[in-house]
Amino acid sequence: MNLKLLIKKNVQLSRCPNCNTIAALRRSRSRNVWERLMKKAKISPYFCQSCGWRGRLFTYKLSRNYIKLIILYIFLMTVTAYIVQKFLKSYFD
């Protein structure tokens, strides 16, 4: 199983969070140290060519495996909670 949890997302092809236009986002330049640090954390400044929106976008997204893993954990926790509850009920009755 591929355990890569984060995969790079092509922001330039994704939708603008403000006007919903596809593929209008362009990377804007890091203007100061803070923005360069954010860039290191994979949060890059972008701007929208269509509406002029500016903002930061996380350029990675969680992979499907990660979501599957979370679902599995939630499922296991629910099952465990159910079993423990049943056990405690039968124990104290």
Residues that bind Zn ion (CB under 5 A): 16, 18-19, 48, 50-51, 53
Nearer to Zn ion, 14 or 50 (CB): 50
Residue 27 Cβ, how far from Zn ion at the closest point, in Å?
14
Residue 24 Cβ, how far from Zn ion at the closest point, in Å?
6
Nearer to Zn ion, 22 or 70 (CB): 22
Phi then psi dihedrals of residue 56, to 5 deg: -105, 140
Nearer to Zn ion, 46 or 59 (CB): 46
Residue 60 Cβ, how far from Zn ion at the closest point, in Å?
21
- Are 24 and 38 contacting, i.e. CB atoms less than 8 angstroms apart? no
- Are 44 and 74 contacting, i.e. CB atoms less than 8 angstroms apart? no
